[in-house]
């Protein structure tokens, strides 16, 4: 009898211990599940917040790019023609159209009340003619820049020395206030001057592409020119490098690359830069042209 009671007591105790253990383990498991759910919810919220922040940043970036591009409603006001297709190459250039666009651009600058160049002799076109005449008459050093400190200093300070502070401030005023139309303006000026040989408005003779080549070499191949570009905003640096490469390519075709500039490393470097630059209106056009040049010089 006593043995039976002891057995029953032991079994009962085991059952009680088992039940208590079960409930304790179950409660611990529930608490752990709740904690895991809270942690998972927290991590999900963090991911969602990060995605929302990334999306907001992307929206801001897209808006910045949109504002940096001249819209269809702006382009005719500035250049007198509808906006061109951004994805196609503008070759060969329509010379009459480029000449008319350049004149329309000068008229647009003269209509801007915040620009001091409109008060210059001959308006904005007169200002551009004066700057071009000064720069082409006193080109930068392209050979032996590092042989003398004086040559290097002259190259580093070239624009300030040749144009003077007042003209530089006026040029900066245009670059800052008209940043939205800067990219198509550079395309128009390159087409009109370098490809079509058109003179600036009010001039009888076209600008010498041979003299412009001095500046292409300066920006690509000298410490003074490269240091100048490195102080500029990335978009401006890429655009100047792009048109400098086109000028040197033209010099190769017309046999006046007298400094023997090899454009191949500059093409590769610029192709990589433009591929990663989101704020360029004609990025596809630049990449198409650079790809053709890479194939040409392989």
String of DSSP letters for 75-115: HHHHHSSPPPPTTS---S--HHHHHHHHHHHHHHHHT-TT-
pLDDT digits (tens, 9 = 90+) for 209-225: 999 999 999 999 999 99
Helix%, strand%, coil% for the chain, nearest 5: 75, 0, 25
Q: Is the pLDDT of residue 192 over 70?
A: yes
Mean pLDDT of the chain: 84
In this structure, of 29-38, 98-107, 192-201, the range with the lowest mean pLDDT score is: 29-38
- Residue 206 has, within 13 A of its CA and on its CB side, a CA count of 15
Give the model confidence (pLDDT) of 247-269 as tens digits: 999 999 999 999 999 999 999 99
Task: Give the distance from CA 242 to its chain's centroid.
Answer: 11
pTM score > 0.85 for this model? no
Q: Which residue has the higher pLDDT, 107 or 68?
A: 107
Q: Percentage of residues in the chain with pLDDT exceeding 90?
A: 53
Q: CA-to-CA distance for 64 and 103, rounded, in angstroms?
A: 29
Residue 35 reports pLDDT greater than 80: no
Confidence class of residue 194 from pLDDT cuts 50, 70 and 90? very high
Residues 6+ apart with CB under 8 A from 108: 77, 78, 79, 181
Q: What is the pLDDT of residue 64?
A: 57
pLDDT category of residue 145 using cuts at 50, 70 and 90? confident
Does position 63 have pLDDT exceeding 70, yes or no?
no
Q: What is the dihedral of CA 240, 246, 249, 253, to 10 degrees?
A: -140
Between 150 and 46, the higher pLDDT residue: 150
105 contacts 122 by C-beta, under 8 angstroms: no
Its sign, for the CA torsion 129, 161, 229, 262, is positive
Cα–Cα distances (Å) from 111 to 77, 82, 105, 115, 283, in that order, read 11, 19, 10, 9, 29
Residue 103 CB-half CA count within 13 A? 11
First vs last C-alpha separation in the chain: 105
- For CA atoms 269, 279, 292, 259, give the dihedral sign: negative
Kindly indicate the confidence band of residue 202, based on its pLDDT and cuts at 50, 70 and 90.
Answer: confident
Question: What is the structure's pLDDT at 14?
Answer: 66
Orientation of helix 158-177 relative to helix 123-137, angle to 10° = 150
List pLDDT tens digits, range 278-291.
888 899 999 999 99
SS3 state at 62:
helix
Q: How far apart are CA 281 and CA 235, in angstroms?
A: 10
Tokens of 47: 């991911």
Check whether 240 has a pLDDT greater than 80.
Answer: yes
pLDDT for 18: 66
Neighbours of 61 (CB within 10 A): 12
Tell me the pLDDT band of 70, cut-offs 50, 70 and 90.
low
Report pLDDT for 32. Answer: 74
**Under 8 Å between Cβ of 166 and 181:** no
Task: Select the more confidently predicted residue: 12 or 148.
Answer: 148
The torsion angles phi and psi of 276, rounded to 5 degrees, stand at -105, 5
pLDDT score of 87 more than 80: no
């Amino acid at each position: 009898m006593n043995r039976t009671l002891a057995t029953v007591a032991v079994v009962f105790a085991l059952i009680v211990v088992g039940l208590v253990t079960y409930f304790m383990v179950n409660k611990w498991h529930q608490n752990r599940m709740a904690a895991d759910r809270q942690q998972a919810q927290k991590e999900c919220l963090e991911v969602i917040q990060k995605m929302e922040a990334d999306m907001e940043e992307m929206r801001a970036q897209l808006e910045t790019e949109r504002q940096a591009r001249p819209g269809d409603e702006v382009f005719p006001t500035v250049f007198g023609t509808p906006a061109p297709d951004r994805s196609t190459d503008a070759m060969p250039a329509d010379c009459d159209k480029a000449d008319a666009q350049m004149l329309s651009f000068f008229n647009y600058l003269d209509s801007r009340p915040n620009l001091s160049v409109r008060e210059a002799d001959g308006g904005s076109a007169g200002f551009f003619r004066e700057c071009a005449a000064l720069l082409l008459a006193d080109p930068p050093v392209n050979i032996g820049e590092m042989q003398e400190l004086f040559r290097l200093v002259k190259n580093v300070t070239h624009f300030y020395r040749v144009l003077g502070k007042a003209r530089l401030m006026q040029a900066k005023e245009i670059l800052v206030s008209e940043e939205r139309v800067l990219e198509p303006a550079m395309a128009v000026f390159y087409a009109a001057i370098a490809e079509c040989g058109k003179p600036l408005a009010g001039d009888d003779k076209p600008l010498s592409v041979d003299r412009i080549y001095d500046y292409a070499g300066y920006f690509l191949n000298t410490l003074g020119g490269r240091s100048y570009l490195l102080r500029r905003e990335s978009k401006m640096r890429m655009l100047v490098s792009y048109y400098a490469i086109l000028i040197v390519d033209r010099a190769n075709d017309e046999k006046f690359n007298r400094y023997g500039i090899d454009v191949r490393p500059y093409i590769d470097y610029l192709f990589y830069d433009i591929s990663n630059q989101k704020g360029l209106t004609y990025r596809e056009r630049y990449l198409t042209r650079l790809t053709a040049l890479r194939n040409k010089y392989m």
